[in-house]
Amino acid sequence: MKGFPIILLAAALASAVPATAEEREYIYGAELMSASEREAYRRGLTSASGEEARGQYRQRHRERLQKRAQQRGVQLDEKGIVRRGGGAQ
């Protein structure tokens, strides 16, 4: 019976973690961002007033991350996932 609380805790944690990538939060270029940058992005997005302002915020973010990717010698695909290796932009 000693292991029972641990099993309950493990089950609770497993149910709280998204099962697939599609269920996780999506941030364009997240691989190129620090945890604090991702948190700042979330705050900025939620504080934007209206859908148009959120769209503009996303577009500016996308442009910044594309520049960052270029500086680091990687590419971001249309979903914002880092693609390493050859290939023209």
Q: Is position 58 within any domain?
A: yes
The pLDDT profile of the chain, 89 residues, written as one tens digit per residue, is 565 566 655 655 555 555 444 445 689 999 999 999 999 999 999 999 999 999 999 999 999 999 999 999 999 998 889 987 654 44
Domain with 73, as residue range(s), is: 45-82
Q: Is position 70 within any domain?
A: yes
* 76 CB-contact burial (10 Å; exposed 0-12 / middle 13-18 / buried 19+): buried
Determine what percent of the chain falls in helix, strand and coil, rounding each to the nearest 5: 60, 5, 35
What are the backbone dihedrals phi and psi of residue 84, each rounded to the nearest 5 degrees, phi first?
-95, 160
Q: Is position 27 within any domain?
A: no
Q: What is the DSSP letter of 75?
A: E
Number of structural domains the chain divides into = 1
Q: Is position 21 within any domain?
A: no
Q: Is position 51 within any domain?
A: yes
